[in-house]
Amino acid sequence: MARERLVAGIDIGTTKTCAILAEQGRSGRLQLIAAGVAPSRGMKKGLVVSLEETSASVQAAVEQCERIAGKRITSAVVSVAGNHIESQNTRGVTTLPNHGHDVTNADLQRALDSARAVSVPPNREIIHVVPRSYVLDGLEGIKNPIGMAGQRLEAEAHIITGAVGSLHNLIKAVRQTGLEIDDLVLQPLASAEAVLTQEERELGGVLVDIGGGTTDVAVFLDGSVWHTSVLPVGGMSVSNDIAICLRTPLAHAEELKVTYGHTDPAVVVDLPPLDVPTFERGHAQPVSRDYLAQIIQARMEEILGMVGNEIRRSGYSGLLGAGVVLTGGVSEQAGIRELSESVLDLPVRLGEPQGLDRLDDRLSGPAFSTAVGLALWAEHNGTTARATTNGNGSFHVPAAAGKAGRWLRSFLP
Ligand SMILES: Nc1ncnc2c1ncn2[C@@H]1O[C@H](COP(=O)(O)OP(=O)(O)OP(=O)(O)O)[C@@H](O)[C@H]1O
Ligand SMILES: [Mg+2]
């Protein structure tokens, strides 16, 4: 029977849930097979606030993806966010037995296990231990020490933790649909997979994914991640502000923002005013374009200011030669690049997902960076999806379960 290497990801965002199925093509590059997108109803600021509604969104996105693919997905990597996420850099040490030998994979694992042994409070769980670099007998900055000789191996790692309750709710919402979770992946790490170039990671670059309810930040330097953070703000705050200031329904505020919005009032000041329906009288009121832009600008400046604080908190703000790459749905807001450059005082480019062949127009926008990044992340980490062909029985049920973190297994019955 033909063996295919499939990867599946589910990005559960605050505004939309996206399921994605991809396979490794003959060229060795990952190719999209199918994707499904459904509105998210049970999420707020990156957190599950309704198990049933989140489950229903996951189910709808996965079913759509399955219908297009003609395959059933039974497991996937799933994105995680929320402001319960915390990160820190640690160092682990191991000695190489028998007065030193060539470093093996098992030695790396021991050093990383020791890095993982930082004190984590009982209400938190480790989501990722990302190896950054190794130190062998005092020689720093080694990316891959396997095969090198030495006696004392240190691993530098970036550790990401989340609150047990929030993680548990996410896992439960997904598993209620009957899907297994191969791994949880932090949203900024997934987006970075799809958007940041290797050069940007080496030179010093910041991934900023501004979605509906969260703003994800990941700072990269020397090829590895140094700082990650999830801020509980996004494009929905902008739409809320517009709805309140203009006394107009939220759906209308959202449409005004996307269709006529700008982050710079001066650019739109001479354009004719808009007719905006109000709650009060039911008839339209004229609203100037620069007033709409002022509302957007004020909230975006606040969000970008918080991003700037995170970049400073990383301690590397002076070393970011490649600047900022902005993605997520909000990166489509007119004028956002210029405003980001002035608030962050760094060069900013807009990033769309790359690295997945056969991406159609629907998925190529910046709102899908996390979903595409999940597939790439699964591919790079050897996580294989479990899927079956519809009707024709199982064709591929490989090793994926072993990849799930030990903490994840501890949640499973
Ligand atoms: N052209 C546009 N101009 C302004 N805002 C836009 C535009 N297109 C999309 N947005 C905003 O992007 C947001 C949705 O982005 P995205 O799909 O990346 O979020 P999400 O992944 O569902 O949520 P999150 O990652 O925050 O949990 C919405 O607030 C939407 O209003
Ligand atoms: Mg998102």
Nearest CA to ligand 1 atom 9: 329
Predicted confidence (pLDDT) per residue in 191-205, tens digit: 999 999 999 999 999
> What is the chain's pLDDT, residue by residue, as a tens digit (413 residues)?
445 689 999 999 999 999 999 998 888 889 999 999 999 999 999 999 999 999 999 999 999 999 999 999 999 999 999 999 999 999 999 998 766 678 999 999 999 999 988 888 889 999 999 999 999 999 999 999 999 999 999 999 999 999 999 999 999 999 999 999 999 999 999 999 999 999 999 999 999 999 999 999 999 999 999 999 999 999 999 999 999 999 999 999 999 999 999 999 999 999 999 999 887 766 789 999 999 999 999 999 999 999 999 999 999 899 999 999 999 999 999 999 999 999 999 999 999 999 999 888 889 999 999 999 999 999 988 766 555 544 332 222 233 333 445 555 555 54
Residues with CB under 5 A from ligand 2 (ion): 13, 211, 370
258 lines ligand 1 (CB under 6 A): yes
- How far apart, in whole angstroms, are the C-alpha atoms of residue 296 and residue 238? 6
The pLDDT of residue 119 is 80
**CA of 327, closest atom in ligand 1:** 18
Longest alpha-carbon distance in the chain: 84
**For residue 129, which of 118, 140, 143 has the smallest C-alpha distance?**
118
Mutate which of 10, 12, 14, 18 for ligand 1 pocket (most atoms within 8 A of beta carbon): 14
Region label for 77, one of left (φ > 0), alpha (ψ between -120 and 50) or beta (otherwise): beta
240 lines ligand 1 (CB under 6 A): no
Dist. CA 261 → ligand 1 center (Å): 13
Where in 86-196 does DSSP place strands (E)?
A: 86-95, 101-102, 124-136, 139-142, 149-150, 152-163, 180-186
108-115: long-range contacts, CB 8 A cutoff, minimum separation 24: 108/134, 108/145, 108/146, 108/153, 108/155, 110/153, 111/153, 111/154, 111/155, 112/155, 112/157, 114/155, 115/90, 115/91, 115/155, 115/156, 115/157, 115/159
353 lines ligand 1 (CB under 6 A): no
The percent helix, strand, coil of the chain (3-state, each to 5) is: 40, 35, 30
The pLDDT of residue 5 is 83
45 lines ligand 1 (CB under 6 A): no
Question: How many Cβ atoms are within 10 Å of 95's Cβ, its own excluded?
Answer: 13
Dist. CA 206 → ligand 1 center (Å): 19
211 lines ligand 1 (CB under 6 A): yes
The pLDDT of residue 392 is 32
The pLDDT of residue 248 is 94
The pLDDT of residue 297 is 98
Dist. CA 240 → ligand 2 center (Å): 18
Q: Is the pTM of this model over 0.85?
A: yes
**For residue 262, which of 233, 286, 294, 238 has the smallest C-alpha distance?**
294
Q: How far is CA 63 from CA 30, 68, 159, in A?
A: 22, 9, 34
Instruction: Label the pairing between strands 139-142 and 215-221.
Output: unpaired
Amino acid at 61: A
- How far apart, in whole angstroms, are the C-alpha atoms of residue 78 and residue 82? 14
Please name each of the domains of the chain with its CATH number.
Answer: 86-162 (3.30.1490.110)
242 lines ligand 1 (CB under 6 A): no
293 lines ligand 1 (CB under 6 A): no
Q: What angle do CA 312, 318, 319 make, to 5 degrees?
A: 115
Mutate which of 185, 260, 332 for ligand 1 pocket (most atoms within 8 A of beta carbon): 332
Predicted confidence (pLDDT) per residue in 21-76, tens digit: 999 888 888 999 999 999 999 999 999 999 999 999 999 999 999 999 999 999 99
